[in-house]
Homo-oligomer: A and B are copies of this chain.
Amino acid sequence: MAAVLRRSRKLWGRCLKHVDYTLVSSRSMASKTPVGFVGLGNMGNPMAKNLLKHGYPVIATDIFPESCKELQELGAQIVDNPAEVADKADRIVTMLPSSPNVIEVYTGPNGILKKVKKGSLLIDSSTIDPAVSKEVSVAVEKMGAVFMDAPVSGGVGAATTGKLTFMVGGVEEEFTAAQELLTCMGANVVYCGAVGTGQAAKICNNMLLAIGMIGTSETMNLGIRLGLDPKLLAKILNMSSGRCWSSDTYNPVPGVMEGVPSGNNYQGGFGTQLMAKDLGLAQATATNTKTPVPLGSLAHQIYRMMCARGYAAKDFSSVFQFLREDEKEEGQ
């Protein structure tokens, strides 16, 4: 039965591209099968809301009951634990802080796998070690269900406006089905390859992002000390081979660019400790695969030192501030 549902859902997914979207959005909620959601934190909460907005009945749970209230008021059905979610929904999205949480939510005593139906589609949007994604996937497959990793890029803002980017790993034939749900929550849904490659893509991007951000901060700081005007230096870099996202879109030097955290005392944005976490994952996967990542590794250490020195909650572009000479302290 679930398999049948599953198949019809996939056809549905394919058709969606061709139908008149106003028709779709006017459909009554009852006509869509429910979607489970586990993990209603800063990211999960707005993501689940976007599923509701797109007309999906949502069956949700979180270990903190208070996290569920808002969604409940918006019409979601709140249940006790992941197993209950799996009992009531055959498509489930999970959004959790770290690998141990994912293992618990899937394979724990009240985990999804206790009651998962054959043919279910389980999508994990947490950012975790790709090796854990693979392990969970094996366990999911043994139950006759399908697992995909689909970590996101973009923060709470993008989650709220439904503009996340999803990097998806899993069996290619299931991608369309996943895409149907993920497009409700994101602007880009990219298929990356086998299970774990979604995580791999996410981790790789963030490692290079961190390197670019620290590199841009060092460079801007050095240039300023050598007498260059920061805006002019940014302009020169951006028309030259030094150009990167951190120099042209998210410049870490206050005053160079508007609408970025550097202009707002490094409030908002992507926190230093979250970057440190992602770099820790990059480091772990590099170690496990015996891949040298010297700059990635040093970037990890710098963000770790920043956490130790009071920058944990600031945007990760605050590395410019961290590296900048604190003139009152400087002697000799």
Decide if A259 is an interface residue (CB 8 Å cutoff): no
Do B292 and A295 have beta carbons less than 8 Å apart? no
Do B289 and A226 have beta carbons less than 8 Å apart? yes
Note all chain B residues with C-beta closer than 8 A to A232. 192-193
Decide if A12 is an interface residue (CB 8 Å cutoff): no
Q: How many residues of A contact B (CB 8 A)?
A: 97
User: Binding site of A, secondary structure by majority: helix, strand, loop or mixed?
Assistant: helix
Decide if A206 is an interface residue (CB 8 Å cutoff): yes
Q: Mark A230-261, 1 if CB is under 8 A from B, else 0.
A: 00110011011111111101100000000000
User: Interface segment, A53-61, A79-87, A174-182, A194-202?
Assistant: A194-202
Decide if A268 is an interface residue (CB 8 Å cutoff): no
Do B242 and A242 have beta carbons less than 8 Å apart? no
Residues A44-91 near B (CB distance < 8 A): none
A residues with a Cβ closer than 8 A to B are 97, 130, 153, 165, 167, 188, 190, 192-194, 196-197, 200-201, 203-209, 211-212, 214-216, 218-223, 225-229, 232-233, 236-237, 239-247, 249-250, 271, 273-274, 276-277, 280, 282-302, 304-305, 307-313, 322-326, 329-332
